[in-house]
């Protein structure tokens, strides 16, 4: 728990919602910061300015040094135990940094489809010249139905996949934006740009939101990066074009 941050919020008479609105993040993100998660530098600076306190008071240098010394895999840049632990800004930063391409491979991806900010960002990126490819699970396909049975939610998975098509439909017609349906068995969901990739591994019996996510940078782990992109491309080749779902 970040006691200093809690005290600074109390002194400034600001709520979590106030801070979230000022910084443009989700209130859940602010709660994670209060619980001890260290914000990205730009958010630390903005928070310190908003609360009129020194950054070091909220996040002592000792903690920063410890964080920098924390062991990291030579291959994986960062690992999240569950997808729900991946901060919203990580998804935004991933798609926002793309200059050439964005790829999304999921069964439903409702956590993105239901985020108006993400949809707006994907549309803006396509309009700016970035090739955006989105692969959604065919709702009536056997793999989607089986996934629902595996997670013990039955037809709810079919409903989620159908809702995804309806929500992503707002992006139809944008040049360089293509949405396709696939009926493959997904061992993982993939989200990538030409620079970075987030892989949400699927664990039998558990929803994707509760399964681990691995972040890989192309510069440091190009071989692993290319493996997942090749997998995405194989699904793309066997997918079906979607025009008016």
Tens-place pLDDT, residues 218-230: 888 889 999 999 9
Tens-place pLDDT, residues 145-168: 999 999 888 889 999 999 999 999
160 and 138, same structural domain?
Answer: yes
Single pTM value for the model: 0.70
For the chain, the average pLDDT equals 87
Could you tell me the CATH number of the domain that includes residue 40? 1.10.260.40
List the domain range (segments joined by +) for residue 47. Answer: 3-69
Tens-place pLDDT, residues 49-95: 888 888 888 888 654 444 444 445 556 678 899 999 898 889 999 99
- pLDDT of amino acid 172: 86
Residue position matching structure tokens 């360089």: 176
Total domain count for the chain? 2
Residue position matching structure tokens 């630390």: 44
CB atoms under 10 Å from CB of 79, counted, come to: 12
Alpha-carbon distance of 34 to 172, in angstroms, equals 39
147 and 48, same structural domain?
Answer: no
What are 245's two structure tokens?
């779902």
Helix (H) or strand (E) holding 149: helix 142-150
Could you tell me the CATH number of the domain that includes residue 142? 3.30.870.10
95 and 30, same structural domain?
Answer: no
């Amino acid at each position: 728990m970040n006691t200093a941050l809690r005290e600074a919020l109390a002194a400034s008479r600001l709520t979590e919602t106030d801070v979230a609105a000022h910084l443009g993040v989700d209130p859940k993100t602010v709660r994670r910061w209060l619980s001890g998660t260290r914000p990205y530098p730009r958010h630390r600076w903005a928070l310190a300015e908003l609360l009129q306190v020194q950054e070091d008071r909220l996040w002592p240098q000792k903690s920063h040094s410890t964080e920098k010394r924390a062991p990291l895999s030579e291959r994986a840049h960062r690992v999240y135990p569950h997808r729900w632990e991946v901060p919203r800004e990580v998804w935004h930063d991933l798609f926002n940094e793309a200059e050439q391409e964005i790829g999304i491979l999921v069964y439903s991806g409702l956590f993105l489809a239901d985020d108006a900010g993400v949809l707006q960002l994907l549309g803006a990126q396509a309009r700016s010249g970035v090739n955006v490819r989105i692969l959604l699970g065919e709702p009536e396909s056997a793999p989607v139905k089986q996934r629902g049975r595996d997670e013990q939610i039955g037809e709810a998975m079919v409903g989620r996949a159908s809702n995804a098509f309806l929500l992503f439909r707002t992006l139809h017609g944008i040049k360089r934006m293509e949405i396709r349906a696939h009926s493959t068995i997904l061992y993982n969901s993939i989200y990538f740009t030409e620079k970075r990739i987030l892989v949400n591994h699927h664990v039998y019996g558990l929803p994707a939101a509760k399964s681990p996510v691995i972040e890989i940078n192309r510069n440091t782990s190009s071989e692993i990066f290319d493996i997942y992109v090749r997998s995405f491309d194989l699904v793309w080749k066997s997918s079906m074009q979607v025009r008016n779902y």
